[in-house]
């Protein structure tokens, strides 16, 4: 018999609150509409067609992904416009061609003249046309060419003249917005991101090459950009779910967090007033993004199973592979949380936390007590 409430689930299990998800999706959709840009949801965290359908409702229908496994999956589910938002490797192009033969258009990313030539060559060999964007470095220093570089123009020209490739535009991602601690700082990074993308597009156009798409990313900058003039689309992703880190950089509030993990108390260390739960590094991740934040919540914020907070804040302070250690504070004692007690953990970094799970157990905090399982949505993993 399938589980009917979160108290029937095997632990650890991944919980998704549909009501919060829908509110988060609506907030970003309204923001994109108000700022005059298309919304291309990045589904690298969601990895679920059920989440995707909600995210693209009322949008242009395009999505972004971070793995070819995701591209294959979403193409098989009928998504036709997919950006593979990581620099393509030439030996992946046969796989891309196979995905396109399912009827989907895959937009590729590169920051390399050499790879651009390989894309054109493989297109001729496979008799397939590849759609390509140039990745720009807007300050993070991870990948991408600079907007004033010679490589930018050379890549655009090669693609513009190719028989089996087309130049689609430019894209960038302000991942360093996660280092911001105030909205004012996010606004500055957002403007630098916008300026990088727009100036690169304008420079390409001055060299006689059309540049239709000007694409930027990042949940914080999409929300707080003062202006998106010259940008055509935004590609945020974590906004759908939120996490404790995003709550501390003002991308959401703790009440917006749609993802949590249900776990059980598995052991006590009464002499040290702490306990273990059966959710550790694999179930929660070892990401420590809140470590240097004003409110360090370790590896996750711990609440009662129904999501209600304890009087004294609780967190997972340490993780082992399959266990999480939780110190007890205030009036709480091990006797009050016997072995088998179910607890809910809101993640530090939801993208990492969700990665190990193959399904979402859906609840709805606007229905009853929010503990009833209303659906199970599959999700995929891998590359």
Look at residue 291 in the predicted model and tell me its pLDDT.
Answer: 85
**Number of neighbours of residue 34 by Cβ within 10 angstroms:** 9
Look at residue 49 in the predicted model and tell me its pLDDT.
Answer: 98
Look at residue 2 in the predicted model and tell me its pLDDT.
Answer: 76
Summarised one tens digit per residue, pLDDT across range 264-314 is 999 999 889 999 999 999 999 999 888 888 889 999 999 999 999 998 889
Class of domain 254-378: mainly beta
CA 373 to chain centroid, in Å, comes to: 24
Q: Say which residue the tokens 């493989």 belong to.
A: 122
Q: What is the CATH number of domain 42-236?
A: 3.20.20.10
Compute the distance between CA of residue 131 and CA of residue 113 in angstroms, rounded to an integer: 15
Look at residue 330 in the predicted model and tell me its pLDDT.
Answer: 79
Q: What is the DSSP letter of 239?
A: G
- Residue extents of the structural domains in the chain: 42-236, 254-378
Look at residue 294 in the predicted model and tell me its pLDDT.
Answer: 84
In the chain, which stretches have pLDDT less than 50? none
Compute the distance between CA of residue 214 and CA of residue 198 in angstroms, rounded to an integer: 7
Compute the distance between CA of residue 129 and CA of residue 140 in angstroms, rounded to an integer: 31
Its pTM surpasses 0.75: yes
Look at residue 331 in the predicted model and tell me its pLDDT.
Answer: 79
**323 is written with which tokens?**
């266990």
Look at residue 193 in the predicted model and tell me its pLDDT.
Answer: 96
Look at residue 375 in the predicted model and tell me its pLDDT.
Answer: 96
Q: Indicate the Cα dihedral angle 37, 69, 112, 171, nearest 10°.
A: 10
Look at residue 134 in the predicted model and tell me its pLDDT.
Answer: 98
CB 323 within 8 A of CB 280: yes
CB 214 within 8 A of CB 168: no
Nearest Cα neighbor of 143 from 214, 100, 86, 203 is 86
Q: How far is CA 26 from CA 21, 181, 335, 375, in A?
A: 9, 25, 43, 21
Can you say whether the dihedral through the CA atoms of 201, 206, 207, 208 is positive or negative? positive
Query: Please, which residues bridge with residue 276 across strands?
Result: 267, 325
Look at residue 295 in the predicted model and tell me its pLDDT.
Answer: 86
Q: Say which residue the tokens 């993993």 belong to.
A: 381
């Amino acid at each position: 018999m399938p589980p009917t409430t979160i108290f029937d689930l095997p632990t650890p299990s991944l919980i998704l609150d549909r009501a919060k998800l829908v509110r988060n999706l609506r907030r970003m959709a309204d923001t994109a509409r108000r700022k005059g840009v298309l919304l291309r949801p990045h589904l690298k965290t969601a990895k679920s067609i059920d989440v995707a359908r909600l995210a693209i409702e009322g949008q242009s229908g395009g999505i972004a992904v971070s793995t070819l496994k995701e591209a294959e999956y979403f193409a098989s589910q009928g998504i036709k416009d997919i950006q593979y938002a990581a620099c393509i490797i030439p030996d992946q192009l046969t796989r891309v061609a196979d995905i396109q033969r399912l009827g989907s258009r895959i937009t590729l990313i590169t920051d390399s003249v050499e790879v651009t030539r390989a894309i054109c060559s493989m297109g001729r060999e496979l008799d397939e046309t590849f759609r390509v964007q140039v990745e720009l470095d807007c300050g993070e220093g991870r990948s991408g060419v600079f907007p004033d570089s010679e490589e930018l123009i050379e890549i655009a020209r090669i693609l513009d003249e190719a028989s089996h490739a087309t130049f689609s535009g430019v894209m960038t991602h302000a991942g360093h917005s996660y280092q911001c601690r105030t909205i004012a700082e996010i606004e500055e990074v957002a403007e630098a991101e916008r300026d990088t993308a727009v100036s690169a597009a304008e420079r390409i156009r001055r060299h006689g090459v059309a540049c239709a798409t000007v694409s930027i990313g990042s949940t914080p900058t999409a929300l707080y950009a003062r202006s998106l003039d010259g940008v055509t689309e935004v590609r945020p992703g974590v906004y759908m779910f939120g996490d404790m880190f995003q709550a501390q950089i003002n991308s959401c509030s703790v009440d917006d967090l749609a993802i949590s993990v249900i776990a059980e108390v598995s052991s006590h260390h009464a002499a040290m007033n702490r306990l273990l739960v059966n959710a550790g590094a694999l179930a929660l991740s070892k990401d420590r993004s809140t470590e240097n934040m004003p409110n360090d919540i370790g590896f996750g914020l711990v609440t009662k199973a129904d999501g209600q907070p304890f009087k004294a804040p609780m967190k997972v302070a340490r993780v082992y592979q399959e266990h999480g250690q939780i110190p007890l504070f205030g009036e709480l004692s091990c006797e009050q949380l016997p072995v088998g007690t179910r607890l809910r953990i809101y993640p530090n970094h939801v993208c990492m936390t969700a990665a190990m799970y193959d399904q979402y157990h859906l609840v709805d905090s606007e229905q009853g007590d929010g503990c009833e399982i209303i659906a199970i949505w599959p999700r995929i993993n891998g590359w």
